[in-house]
Chain A
Amino acid sequence: MKKILFFAFLFLFSSACLFAQKGNYTKEPGYVDISFLSEYTSGDNGSEVLIEEGMMKMLAQMTGGNDSSITGQLKAIKLIHLISFDAGGDVIKTMESKIADIDRDLLSKNWDRIAKTKSDKEYANIYVKSSGDGKFLGLFIASVNYKSGKTSFVNIVGNIDPAVIGKLPKEWKLPEMLKMKRDKNNGEKKEKED
């Protein structure tokens, strides 16, 4: 009886851990919490993009195609988080200060700052969390464009191959295909109405 109770407890506990782990990217080493910046995206001022693992897997599935590296990279991404907004005047100074805080925090957590650029046009820091075998577990970019005031923070969590990330905008055809399909459908609807 006691053995049954013990194994029942063990089974329930393991299941809970399994379920709890699913989709819990906050525990990933490549995750950076930038949710505190969401307040700056209110109204038309900015935008926030949050794409989780489930959606990324769906996109990878739909991508298919001959280039398995793109499919593989999309599958490996657990989270894309972007916060972008227009900052002016004092807000830019606040953002510089926040970037400095984030810089200290990430460096203390063994992130590598691979680029730090500051000019009269732009202030941008790029960080990666290395896995030690040429790939990264996370990517983080904080940037402020002084000319336009555009401030952006991006965190990509998952196994990132920089070479593949680099070719995605040109070689990933799915977004274009979906857009074309939508336009086609809208066009057909209009014809029918006419």
Chain B
Amino acid sequence: MNEKLLNKIICTAYGDASIIDKLHVRLLALKNKEINALLLEYKKSAQLVHRMPEESVSDSVIRRVYSNLNLNNESNFVLKAKTFSFFYRRPIAASAALVVVSIIIAISVFIYNPVHKTEYKPEEIERAAVQANEVFKFVNNTFTNAGRTVKEDVIEKNVNKPINEKLNTISKIITKGEVK
């Protein structure tokens, strides 16, 4: 029995050995009675230790502290803190939440929002081109039918209006003889 093996036995008994070490020790314990006996002894100790409860501090200590610090004695917990604590202190809960969210995201992306086709057949392209052109013709005709003023109005407002205003101002000065 060397030191390394003893350490493995102890870690296996206490439950923090690696999977490989645990398997190794368990196999050896099956073959060797001495190792088995040692493993059992340490396991019993480990059980006793792990069964040890935490000591509870009395409430009077807390009350004294709060009173010294002039804090409100009433319990003041925010639900957020508990929820945060639930996920933060429990890596398993955090991992489970991550798995659930990942599944939801994957479903929404791949099932309800399928990847768009990027390859088009030549007939599809031609049809789309012709249809798009028809739509542009329709738009143009509608604009024309609604009167040239619409076009002028749209373009005028956004481009020519500032120029026109300045021109108007100059025109007023000239026609009314106002010179400033």
Interface residue ranges, A against B (CB under 8 Å)? 1-2, 5, 8-9, 12-13, 15-16, 19-20, 22-24, 49, 51-52, 54-56, 58-59, 62, 80, 82, 114-115, 117, 122, 124, 126, 128, 134, 139, 141, 143, 152, 154, 156, 162-163, 165-166, 168-169, 172, 174-175, 178-179, 182
**B11-48 interface (Cβ within 8 A of A):** none
Which of B49-57, B62-70, B138-146, B172-180 sits within the interface? B138-146
Cα distance, A179 to B153, chains bound together (Å): 36
Determine if B101 and A182 form an interchain contact, defined as CB atoms under 8 angstroms apart.
no
**Interface size counted on chain B using CB atoms at 8 A:** 45
The distance in angstroms between the C-alpha atoms of A124 and B95, with both chains bound, is: 57
Assuming A58-B120, A58-B128, what are 20 further A-B pairs, CB within 8 angstroms? A15-B105, A19-B115, A20-B108, A23-B116, A49-B132, A55-B128, A80-B131, A80-B132, A114-B153, A114-B154, A117-B146, A124-B145, A141-B138, A141-B139, A141-B142, A165-B140, A168-B133, A174-B129, A175-B129, A178-B126
Chain B 79-98 interface mask (CB, 8 Å, partner A; 1/0) = 00000000010010011001
**Which chain A residues border B102 with CB–CB below 8 Å?**
9, 12
Q: Does B4 reach chain A (CB closer than 8 Å)?
A: no
- Chain B residues lying within 8 Å of A58, measured Cβ to Cβ, are 120, 125, 128
Residues in A whose Cβ lies below 8 Å from that of B146: 115, 117, 124, 126
Is the contact region of chain B dominated by helix, strand, or loop, or is it mixed? Answer: helix
Q: Is B136's CB under 8 angstroms from A172's CB?
A: yes
B170 at the binding interface (Cβ < 8 Å) = no
Set B101, B117, B122: member contacting A12, Cβ < 8 A: B101
Q: How far is the CB of A69 from chain B (nearest CB, A)?
A: 14
**In the complex, A117 Cα to B140 Cα: how many Å?**
15
| Nearest-neighbor residue (CB-CB) of B109 within chain A | A19
Q: How many A-B residue pairs have CB under 8 A?
A: 128
Residues of chain B within 8 A (CB-CB) of A9 are 98, 101-102
CB distance from B92 to the nearest CB of A (A): 11
Instruction: Quote the shortest CB–CB distance from A74 to chain B (angstroms).
Output: 8
B159 contacts the other chain (Cβ, under 8 Å)? yes
Assuming A49-B135, A139-B139, is B98 touching A8 (CB within 8 A)? yes
B130 touches A5 (CB 8 A): no
In the complex, are the beta carbons of A59 and B155 less than 8 A apart?
no
Interchain CB contact under 8 A, A169 and B140: yes
Q: Is B2 positioned at the interface, with any CB of A under 8 Å from its CB?
A: no
Please, how many angstroms separate the alpha-carbon atoms of A143 and B122 in the complex? 32
Report which residue of B101, B124, B133 has the largest number of chain A beta carbons within 10 angstroms of its beta carbon: B133
Which of these, A117, A122, A166, A169, contacts B133 with CB under 8 Å? Answer: A169
Which residues of the other chain, A, contact B133 by a CB distance below 8 angstroms?
168-169, 172, 175
Known A13-B101, A165-B140; judge A114-B135 contact (CB<8 A).
no
